[in-house]
Every structure is written in C-alpha cells, then in structure tokens.
A and B are shown apart, each in its own frame.
Chain A
C-alpha cells in the first residue's frame, strides 16, 4: 500500500490567521475506502484543516490533492462538485424548510429534475433512518436527528470523500453506537470517511488510522490502539504534568 496515492493528500498545508498559525505544515494521506480519524485537543486546528480542504479557507502554503487533482485553490462549491462532502460541527439545517427539502437540495447536484432529486433524497433519508420525519420542518428535529440530517444532506451530493466534523458530540452511548453503524454503512457504499472526533469510543471503533493534531502540527499518526499510548499525544491532551 505504500507509495499509492491516497484519495486525499494534504502536503505541507499551512493556514495562518494574522499571527496565529492554525495549521502548520500539515501532511497526511487518506487511502481510498478508509475511515481516517483526525483527533487532538480543542483548538488544535482540526476544523480549520477541514475548512482548507473543503475550500472555505485558502491555504497559505502547501497543497491539497483529491483523487490526483490539485484542489487547493478551489471554491467550496467546486470542491463539492469534485466529490467532497462535509458536515458542520454545529449542524446547519436549512431551518424553515422540510427535512426532505433539505436533502433534495443536496440531491440536485447530480440532476436537474425535481422528481429525480426527490426520489434520491427520499432513499438517502431511508438509509439514514429519517424517512418518517421527511415532512417535518428541519428546525423541529432533535439534536441526534439534526446530526443525521447533516450527514444526509452531504450524502445526497454523492461524495467520494465525506468529512465528518464531530458528529458524535453530545450523543448518548446508544446514539453513538447507532451512528457508528451508520458510518460503516456509508463506508461500505464506497465512500471514504475522514472524521474529526473527540468521542474516543467512536474513534477506536471506526478509525483504521488516526492522525493527532496539536497546535496546528501533526504530532503522531498510526493505529488508534498505539496512538493512545504515545507520550506526545498524552502530553498534548493532558499537559506536561501528566506525562508518566
């Protein structure tokens, strides 16, 4: 597997905001079909990295390659068209319209016809488990359902790579398990998953590889089991005093 390019490649990506370097010379590679985790303490720059990949921010240095093409300078809607879907850390449903309409908008990426988009959206909702609520206004959904809707919207655009930003946050253990199954289901349909996560149970269960980010830099990378024992990782999360 070494030497084969990943579906997503970040090479020396750097993003600064004035004096703060949020992402610092970050390099990693996500193999196709993988579930790859990005973890690290709060403020490490994980969401910023997502925003650089998805085109919301422009990188100050480095390159982002997707399926062999350079996408570093592309605007968000072009990145989506290339096949990268994303969820937002705080779910952003389109509040005043129905659940189904939310997903229809995503489904319109690949068709011009309402009937086709509607059918696609409905089957996506079925997969996600929200089909019974398709007629509800999005703002009336509970928090776990909003997270599912967030995933459904992105999934409707038929991405090859899905960026999940802390989807497990605030969920009960049962809800986490349900979402873990859902993520596996999505991966089994051929979607590569890159996720930012704090809920360790999800990281350990889902991720084949994990990269640890702290202060914008990558400080460790490897299998979740090994990563947890890594002294620099422990230090990053808990501070120097806890390093045994």
Chain B
C-alpha cells in the first residue's frame, strides 16, 4: 500500500507519474517489498484449502470472497461512476434464477446459464437505467430500491412464467447432480477457487477500466456532472455503460451463489439486506480504490460471522447494528474508506515537507 512521493522531484515527466487515477496504487504497484508480500499473500490464499479442511472455515472464506466479489462488481457503478445503487440484489437474483431455471427446465449447464444470467442482468440494467439515471443522487438511489423491491415482490407472487416454474416464495431447489459440468462439487474447495477466480476477474476489469477513456470519463461524471458535460462527455451513456458492466458481473455472482447453496429464494437472493451489504463493504473499504470493496469485506464479514457465533442466540441481528456503526464511523472519519488511510498519511507527509521548505 505504498506510493512513491514525487513532490520533491521537479523534473518528473508526465509519463511516469500521471495518468494514474488511483489515489491508492494498490498492492500490486509499488516497490519490491510490497510485491514480495503480495506474492506471498497470493500463494497463501491459493493453498489454504490444501491445509484447511474444516468446512466451517472454508464456508467462511467462500462467503467472504463471494461478498468481496459482488461488492467489487457493485463498485463498478457505485464507486467508479459514483451512482449509489441500493437495488443491486435484483441482478444477483436474476443471475441465480436464470441459471437455475435453464438448468432445471432445459438441462443447460449452469456455466452457460451463468453467462446467460449475467447478460440478462445487464439487459435488465439497461431497462432500469434508462429512467433512473436521469435522476440525480438520492433520487437515483430511491428509484433503484423501488425497482428491486418491485422485482422481489413480483417473484414472491409468481408461480410460473410459461415453462418456468418460479414457485414464488417457496423458491427453487437446484437439482442435485454432482459434476463439473453441472457446476456442483462434493467438497468446498472447488467453490473457493471458482469465486477466487471471479474476484480476480472483476478486480482486473475494474483496474483496466480506470486506465481507459471510460474510467477517466466516469471520474468526471462522479465528481461534477456539469463539468463533465462541458468537456464533451455524454454522462448518461457512460453511466449506463458502467451500470451494465456492473450488473453483468453481479449476475454472474448470483449463479455462483445458487450453485453453492443449491437453493434460490426471494428472501435470500433478492432482499434489501443483500443490496445494503453490497454497498457497505465498499464504503467502509473505500469506493475510489480497486481493492476497497475487498478490504471492507475482509473487515466486516469475519467480524459479523464471529459476533453471530458468539452472541447468536441472545443478540440476533447484531451484525446489522455492526454494519450501521461501521458505516457511520467510515463516513465520519474515513470518507475514502480504509483504502484512504494511505492518502491521509501522504497528505500529512506532504504538508510536513512543504512546511519544511
């Protein structure tokens, strides 16, 4: 988490230091030592299932990485584009229902169903974005909540659509058939690796977007929309694009979740709680950073699970209180999230250096 301080180098050219939008260059940047630490961390993460067989711990890891994945997917529209969507669980649901229905009715492999779910989620996001993205700030957020809840209630009340038996509130069971092509495994380890790969993919996509025209334009849209328009940016299309990309990856996460717990129902997969959780992790970890959502998840999920275990019977729902506290602390003290700590330290260092001049 280090960044070279270039303020004392007057002769720096544009090529070396600029065109990098990230205030926090991330674990993969920086000097030799942080690269070594990163490599070690990656190796550790990859070999965990070899040494750890305890199913509860593996479950905890899978859930953590899953939340990191969908938070990072959300962050493409929430952090990069600055559009706070509180209805993102609708895309998780679409992904889950699409792959499950295609599998149980037509026997389509959930791998294909996963892509189909992602694409369908992206298409739905276009339909939702069109009216919603005309609204500014809070109103956009309210509209996303409205859409998500409407969708949830619709699924809640619908038994079937044509050949697809959605089974309303009952939910669907994914037909049990172990096998790679059926996206079902006996042990937890394969799920762990799959979600890890998905996380790597979405983090890479986020990182790449930030270095392209779309990424720069989204920063402008996020910081000041009228300025962005005065610079020739079609803010609506850019926002819609970010929303579609975000929805696609979120939908894919939905399929993964369905295949992992082998059940799809409107309570779990389409609830407001899931939407809110997807937003809290990035806010605590830092929305402007590629690794922010992951950071937030690494802090919040274990604490949440542990408090549920210890306080389980007596304080049900304590993790919700915890989330509330975390959000207030984050917004008040760390507006850029945990990832912003690097920025705060650097700013202090620059001020000291400037004072010394």
Contact = CB atoms under 8 A, between A and B. Distances in A.
A64 to B, nearest CB: 16
B302 interface: no
Closest 3 pairs between A and B when the two form their complex, measured CB to CB: A80-B232, A76-B229, A122-B14
B19 A104 contact: yes
Nearest to A126: B14
A75 B229 contact: yes
Contacts of B217: 105, 108
Contact of B227 (A92, A112, A156): A92
Interface in A93-148: 94-98, 100-101, 104-106, 108-109, 111-114, 117-119, 121-122, 132, 134-135
B24 to A, nearest CB: 12
Contacts of A95: 223
A94 B227 contact: yes
A80 B18 CA distance: 25
Nearest to A95: B223
Interface string B205-241: 0000001110011011001101111111111000000
16 contacts: A54-B230, A75-B229, A76-B229, A77-B229, A77-B232, A77-B234, A80-B230, A86-B230, A101-B21, A105-B228, A111-B213, A112-B213, A135-B6, A154-B230, A156-B231, A157-B231
Contacts of B10: 132
Contact of A92 (B224, B233, B235): B224
A81 interface: yes
Given A118-B19, A135-B12, A101 B230 contact: no
A88 interface: yes
A217 interface: no
Interface string A66-88: 00000000011100110001101
A108 B213 contact: yes
Contacts of A104: 18-19, 216
Contacts of B229: 56, 75-77, 80
A153 interface: yes
A122 B227 CA distance: 20
Nearest to A99: B18
Nearest to A87: B230
Contact of A135 (B7, B21, B23): B7
B223 A94 contact: yes
Contacts of A96: 23, 223, 288
Interface residues of B, number: 31
Interface residues of A, number: 39
Nearest to B7: A135
A106 to B, nearest CB: 5
A81 B232 contact: yes
Interface of A: 54, 56, 75-77, 80-81, 85-86, 88, 92, 94-98, 100-101, 104-106, 108-109, 111-114, 117-119, 121-122, 132, 134-135, 153-154, 156-157
A123 to B, nearest CB: 9
Contacts of B220: 94, 105
Interface string B1-37: 0000011001010110111010100000000000000
Given A97-B219, A118-B19, A76 B226 contact: yes
B80 to A, nearest CB: 13
B230 A119 contact: no
Nearest to B238: A77
A26 to B, nearest CB: 21
A94 B219 contact: yes
Contacts of B19: 100-101, 104, 114, 117-118
A42 B210 CA distance: 42
B216 A76 contact: no
Contacts of B230: 54, 76-77, 80, 85-86, 88, 154
Contacts of A94: 219-220, 223-224, 227
Contacts of A105: 216-217, 219-220, 228, 231, 233
Given A81-B232, A104-B216, A108-B217, A97 B12 contact: no
Nearest to B14: A122
A236 B183 CA distance: 78
Contacts of B15: 118
A119 B227 contact: no
A95 B90 CA distance: 33
Contacts of B17: 134-135
A4 to B, nearest CB: 28
A16 to B, nearest CB: 21
B238 to A, nearest CB: 10
A88 B230 CA distance: 9
A94 B230 CA distance: 12
Given A77-B234, A92-B226, A97-B21, 6 more contacts: A95-B223, A100-B14, A106-B232, A121-B14, A135-B17, A157-B231
